[in-house]
């Protein structure tokens, strides 16, 4: 190996460490993303609506079991961390674990501290979809997610160039079918509106990583690639 090649390797290694470093800006952005999602979830709770992914599964489970959204959301996400570590790297996994834990706490706090009365279901659906979509986009940009289906969606995006918004929309259809068995039709229709709004926001603001990127390379340099994609 020549001296020039060694210099290039050291430079690449430094860039990888910089991309994975947690900065104050990263922490603030992650907190902002989690807070936006928590506010969206609170609106959904007030309207008895669902949203996509593990958040929707947790809302449905909370209505059926009486357990808090935060507790169920944290538990449902546990099986997905192995996939995150294997396919997307330790840095992504730790950031996602932190965001899932923070959102679990924030949603339960807002459920107590932010009481809401009667709400307009279509307005709540659109507002919640916007808030959650923007929040998730911020997390994606900082090499994190809210676990569960977000992890699977990003993994499929990096490996097969399938846009994360399309993957989540496919899971949304399945969740809507389950909701139709439990909720009245007005809530099902407005939940579908929240799903569509969320999918639109992700499709508009989250651009997929370059096609054909190697999964291991992406996992090592996730922060730089995700931020550069935006």
Give the whole-angstrom CA distance, residue 163 versus residue 152. Answer: 11
Q: Residues 6 or more apart from 175 whose CB is under 8 A from it?
A: 50, 52, 56, 57, 60, 195
Above 60 in pLDDT, residue 126?
yes
The pLDDT tens digits of the residues spanning 218-228 come to 434 444 333 33
The pLDDT tens digits of the residues spanning 153-183 come to 777 887 888 887 677 678 878 888 888 988 9
Torsion angles phi and psi, residue 183, rounded to 5 = -100, 155
Above 60 in pLDDT, residue 114?
yes
The pLDDT tens digits of the residues spanning 91-101 come to 989 999 999 99
DSSP string, 158-203: HHH---HHHHHHHHHHHHHHHHTTTS-HHHHHHHHHHHHHHHHHHH
| DSSP code, position 52 | S
pLDDT band at 195, cuts 50/70/90?
A: confident
pTM of the model: 0.76
Q: Which residue has the higher pLDDT, 64 or 18?
A: 64
**Best mean pLDDT range from 140-144, 201-205, 206-210, 224-228:** 140-144
Residue 168, CA atoms < 13 Å, CB-side half-sphere: 35
Above 70 in pLDDT, residue 54?
yes
């Amino acid at each position: 190996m020549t001296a020039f090649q060694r210099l290039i390797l050291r430079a690449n290694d430094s860039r990888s460490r910089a991309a994975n470093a947690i900065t104050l800006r990263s922490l603030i952005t992650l907190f902002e993303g989690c807070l936006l999602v928590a506010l969206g979830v609170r609106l959904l709770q007030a309207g008895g609506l669902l949203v996509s992914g593990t958040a929707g599964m947790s809302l449905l489970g909370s209505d059926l079991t009486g357990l808090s959204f935060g507790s169920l959301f944290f538990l449902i996400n546990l099986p997905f961390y192995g996939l995150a570590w294997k396919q997307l790297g330790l840095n992504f996994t730790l950031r996602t674990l932190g965001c899932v834990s923070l959102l679990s706490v924030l949603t339960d706090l807002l459920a107590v501290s932010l009481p809401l009365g009667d709400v307009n279901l279509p307005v709540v659906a659109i507002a919640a979809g916007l808030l959650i979509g923007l929040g998730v986009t911020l997390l994606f940009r900082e090499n994190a997610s809210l676990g569960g289906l977000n992890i699977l969606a990003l993994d499929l995006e990096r490996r097969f160039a399938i846009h994360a918004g399309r993957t989540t929309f496919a899971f949304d259809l399945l969740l809507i079918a389950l909701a139709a068995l439990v909720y009245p039709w007005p809530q099902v229709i407005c939940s579908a509106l929240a799903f569509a709004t969320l999918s639109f926001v992700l499709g508009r603001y989250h651009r997929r990583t370059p096609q054909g990127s190697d999964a291991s390379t992406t996992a090592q340099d996730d922060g730089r690639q995700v931020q550069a994609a935006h």
